[in-house]
């Protein structure tokens, strides 16, 4: 049952009270954000009033949970001074995201917000927003729990308690071990500290048990972060500079978001649309992106039609060809999409090395060829029986083998070539592949029909 704005206001008030009582604070923030999204759909003015009524610490968490469009409304309505107070309650990675969004909307307001924030935090945020969105540093959080290699477990835990009591750190699920020069030596789960006495020194723990030393540089591509998280089953990735100095960490929430974004980009890219425009409430913006790819698709469709036009006399002589043509193109298109999807996904996951390109192409060609032979026999028999023309069955069978062979080859080759050129293989691959399978399918079918039947 749809709730009215007053019901939502009462529920938000209840969430505020639960948050103040310390009842699963992250859950209350998420639930409050969901309620505010619902309120925004009913009344934007009341949405902003309800958001402003939240305590500053809850408001900071809720603002991070809101959708981009809802965040945009909030950032426009809240003045720079209040935004600075909210941002100071956030983790640095979330704060950088918010400041960057403000900057995209109003550079002067973003600068005003940064000037209102304390100097040290402002410096960190400026550094984080200087990274490109495809670089690891853009998702880095500087708050973390580190222990020095020559101190005891007890000393580090005492310091952690002080950090927690001052609210300087959240989500301390790992301890990052550094030397006296802040160089990263490894990390271990906090739960492992239970197995060690307060008097044990970290250096001895490292020597006896070892620690995970995997880390990324802030300039590393974000794909590397996703790859490391998957390969090592890590839910937090340390970030170090070229000298090994520990700079920060990329936390689980960002890693999961990045994985989801990567998958979404691939799906949207293969459909010829962009996530930013599709999430926009501006229909014209979304329509423009789609129109571009539809225009490209129109050009490729005309190319396929030109091929058909070359054999118009053949089609007029044997009307059955017009009936069977779509089958050849459709089978080639589907086979090519299978090869394309598998190759694009493996490239995204880092499962394909450039040196393995030949192996990948060979595999896809053999799979397509095998399926082509099977369905060539099936379709050849169907065409023979359907039109009582044995040679027509032979024509469509040969054409299907040729087209599926081409589909497997180009379905694997196109994304590999685009990747080699530094172009996202998910974008544009589908249009190129459709052109190939249509042109090869129609040309082989109608060309063979002209040679064999006429």
Tokens 């959240």 belong to 170
CB 234 within 8 A of CB 212: yes
**Lookup: tokens for 138:** 């853009």
Domains and CATH numbers, the chain: 5-134 (1.25.60.10), 146-250 (3.10.580.10), 277-452 (1.10.357.20)
CB 80 within 8 A of CB 109: yes
Tokens 């540089």 belong to 217
pLDDT of residue 423: 76
Q: Tell me whether residue 365 is exposed, middle or buried, using C-beta atoms within 10 angstroms of its C-beta: 0 to 12, 13 to 18, 19 or more.
A: buried
Q: Which of 28, 23, 50 is nearest to 38 (CA)?
A: 50
d(CA 353, CA 360): 10
State the DSSP H helix or E strand holding residue 5, giving kind and residue range, or none if neither.
Answer: helix 5-20
State the DSSP H helix or E strand holding residue 412, giving kind and residue range, or none if neither.
Answer: helix 390-420
**Lookup: tokens for 46:** 């009341």
Show the CA angle centred on residue 213, arms to residues 211 and 217, nearest 5°.
160
Backbone angles phi, psi at 246, to 5 degrees: -70, 120
Q: Tell me whether residue 274 is exposed, middle or buried, using C-beta atoms within 10 angstroms of its C-beta: 0 to 12, 13 to 18, 19 or more.
A: buried
* Region of 6 on the Ramachandran plot (φ > 0 left; ψ -120 to 50 alpha; else beta): alpha
Count how many Cα atoms sit within 13 Å of the Cα of residue 201 in the half-sphere of its side chain.
7
Backbone angles phi, psi at 66, to 5 degrees: -70, 155
> C-alpha 395: how far from its chain's center?
44
Burial state string for 53-71 with b = 16 or more CB within 10 A and e = fewer than 16: ebeebbbbbbbbbbeeebb
CB 251 within 8 A of CB 141: yes
Tokens 């060690």 belong to 196
d(CA 364, CA 343): 9
**Rounded average pLDDT per 10-residue block, the chain, 454 residues:** 81 87 79 92 90 88 89 91 90 91 92 91 93 92 93 93 83 91 94 88 90 93 88 91 95 86 71 59 66 77 87 87 90 89 79 76 90 93 92 94 93 87 76 87 92 87
DSSP annotation of 135 reads: B
Quote helix, strand, coil % in the chain, to nearest 5.
Answer: 70, 5, 20
pLDDT of residue 285: 66
Q: Which of 450, 448, 406, 442 is nearest to 329 (CA)?
A: 442
Query: Going by C-beta distance under 8 Å and a sequence separation of 6 or more, which residues neighbour residue 233?
Result: none
> DSSP characters for 214-255?
--B-TTSBHHHHHHHHHHTT-S-EEEE-TT-BEEEEE-HHHH
Q: What residues pair up with 240 in beta bridges, in sequence order?
A: 246
> C-alpha 183: how far from its chain's center?
31
Beta strands in 6-150 (DSSP E): 146-148
Tokens 């948050």 belong to 19
Count how many Cα atoms sit within 13 Å of the Cα of residue 239 in the half-sphere of its side chain.
25
At residue 148, the 3 state secondary structure works out as strand
Determine if the pTM surpasses 0.75: no
* Region of 118 on the Ramachandran plot (φ > 0 left; ψ -120 to 50 alpha; else beta): beta
CB 425 within 8 A of CB 379: no
CB 402 within 8 A of CB 440: yes
Longest dimension (CA), the chain: 93
At residue 431, the 3 state secondary structure works out as helix
Query: Going by C-beta distance under 8 Å and a sequence separation of 6 or more, which residues neighbour residue 40?
Result: 47, 70, 73
């Amino acid at each position: 049952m749809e709730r009215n704005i007053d019901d939502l206001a009462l529920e938000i008030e209840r969430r505020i009270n639960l948050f103040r009582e310390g009842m699963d604070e992250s859950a209350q923030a998420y639930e409050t954000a969901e309620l505010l999204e619902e309120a925004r759909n009913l009344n934007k003015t009341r949405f902003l009033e309800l958001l402003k009524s939240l305590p500053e610490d809850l408001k900071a968490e809720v603002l991070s949970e809101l959708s981009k469009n809802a965040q945009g409304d909030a950032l426009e309505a809240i003045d720079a001074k209040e935004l600075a107070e909210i941002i100071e309650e956030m983790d640095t990675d979330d704060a950088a995201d918010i400041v960057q969004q403000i900057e995209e909307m109003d550079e002067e307001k973003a600068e005003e917000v940064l000037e209102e924030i304390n100097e040290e935090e402002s410096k960190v945020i400026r550094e984080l927003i200087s990274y490109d969105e495809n670089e690891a540093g853009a998702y880095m959080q500087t708050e973390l729990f580190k222990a020095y290699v020559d101190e005891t477990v007890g000393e580090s835990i005492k310091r952690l308690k002080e950090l927690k009591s001052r609210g300087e750190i959240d989500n301390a699920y790992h301890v990052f071990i550094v030397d006296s020069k802040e160089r990263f030596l490894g990390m271990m789960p906090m739960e492992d500290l239970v197995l060690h006495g307060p008097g044990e020194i970290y250096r001895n723990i490292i020597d006896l048990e070892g620690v995970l030393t995997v880390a990324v540089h802030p300039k590393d591509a974000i794909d590397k972060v996703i790859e490391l998280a998957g390969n090592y089953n890590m839910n937090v990735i340390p970030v170090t500079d070229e000298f090994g100095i520990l700079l920060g960490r990329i936390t689980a929430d960002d890693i999961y978001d990045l994985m989801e974004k990567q998958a979404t980009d691939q799906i949207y890219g293969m459909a010829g649309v962009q996530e930013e425009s599709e999430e926009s409430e501006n229909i014209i913006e979304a329509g423009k992106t789609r129109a571009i790819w539809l225009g490209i698709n129109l050009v490729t469709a005309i190319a396929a039609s030109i091929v058909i036009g070359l054999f118009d006399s053949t089609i007029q002589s044997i009307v059955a060809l017009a009936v069977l043509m779509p089958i050849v193109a459709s089978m080639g298109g589907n086979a090519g999409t299978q090869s394309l999807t598998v190759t694009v996904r493996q490239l995204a996951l880092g499962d394909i090395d450039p040196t393995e390109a030949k192996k990948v192409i060979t595999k896809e060609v053999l799979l397509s060829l095998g399926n082509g032979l099977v369905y060539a026999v099936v379709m050849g028999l169907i065409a023979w029986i359907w039109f009582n023309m044995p040679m027509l069955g032979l024509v469509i069978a040969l054409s299907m083998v040729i087209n599926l062979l081409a589909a497997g080859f180009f379905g694997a080759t196109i994304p590999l070539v685009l990747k080699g050129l530094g172009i996202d293989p998910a974008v544009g691959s589908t249009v190129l592949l459709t052109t190939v399978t249509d042109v090869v399918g129609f040309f082989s079918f109608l060309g063979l029909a002209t040679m064999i039947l006429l």
